[in-house]
Amino acid sequence: MIRKWDEAQLREALRLYLVMGSPNCNGADPYAVLEAAIYGGVTMFQLREKGPGALQGPERLALGSRLRRLCAQRGIPFIVNDDERLALELEADGIHIGQEDEAAAAVRKRLPQMIVGVSAHDLGEAQSALSDGADYLGVGPQYATRTKLDAREVQGPAGIALLRAGGIALPLVGIGGIDASNASHVIRAGADGVAVVSAIAAASSPREAAAELRERIVNL
């Protein structure tokens, strides 16, 4: 099994994780948004083409391949949300799955070469994800979010501290309502990084937004 990213590299890549699809970009070109965000300091990217106005079929594939290429050129991992077929078609570095999606263990087995990320909301889900072979966890919502309409209850960074206290050492990011004002709390609670959608994708300057976030999470 050839894995391109070892655990230390993954922890590093998770520091500032941009999660985004075209509906999150306020009408801007997602390619331009991602390019600017990478200049600003984003270290990993997830294509989450979801919600009202999300591209489908060939348009989705075309957008995915442009963004995939950009990530490859800049040396950052490219992850696909949920869609195993799309992840394979785009030769993604990984796939992210939620609790309502396919069983993590089955995905892990079918895609041994990929980074597998799993959304976990409590210690039980984190332990299951670990035994299913997840490479990293997304934990949230940390704060109130308007991006994911079916998000669970806000748990705050205390949710991450609980997982760490419960022995979960896996690479882990907080997600949900994170911006430059609160990112440091998420890291201090034990996260390796933060995953953000609107704080970068909907910012008037994604580059500056990413740079500001990055400044708040490095050298804490």
Got the DSSP string for 9-20?
HHHHHTTEEEEE
Q: Which does 156 bind (CB under 5 to 8 A by kind): ligand TZP, Mg ion, none?
A: none
In the chain, at which residue ranges do the beta strands (DSSP E only) sit? 16-20, 44-47, 78-81, 94-97, 115-120, 136-139, 172-175, 193-196
Which range, of 59-67, 120-128, 144-152, 155-163, touches ligand TZP by CB under 6 A?
144-152
Partner residues linked to 115 by β-bridges? 94
Q: Which of 194, 201, 203 is nearest to 13 (CA)?
A: 194
Q: Which does 90 bind (CB under 5 to 8 A by kind): Mg ion, ligand TZP, none?
A: none
- 176 counts as binding ligand TZP under rule CB under 6 A: yes
Which range, of 25-33, 67-75, 195-203, 207-215, touches ligand TZP by CB under 6 A?
195-203
Residues 6+ apart with CB under 8 A from 42: 16, 17, 18, 34, 76, 200, 210, 214
Q: Which of 23, 64, 94, 141 binds ligand TZP (CB under 6 A)?
A: 141
Catalytic residues, by residue number, are 48, 119, 148
Going by DSSP bridges, is the β-strand pair 172-175/16-20 parallel, antiparallel, or unpaired? Answer: unpaired
- 13 counts as binding ligand TZP under rule CB under 6 A: no
Identity of the residue, 38 or 87, whose beta carbon is nearer to Mg ion in the bound complex? 87
Q: Is 148 annotated as a binding residue?
A: yes
Q: Which of 148, 207, 214, 216 binds ligand TZP (CB under 6 A)?
A: 148
Radius of gyration of the chain (CA): 16
Q: Which of 51, 144, 129 is nearest to 97 (CA)?
A: 129
Which range, of 6-14, 87-95, 173-181, 182-190, touches ligand TZP by CB under 6 A?
173-181
Q: Which of 47, 178, 186, 217 binds ligand TZP (CB under 6 A)?
A: 178
Binding positions for ligand TZP, rule: CB under 6 A:
19, 140-141, 145, 147-148, 151, 175-178, 196-199
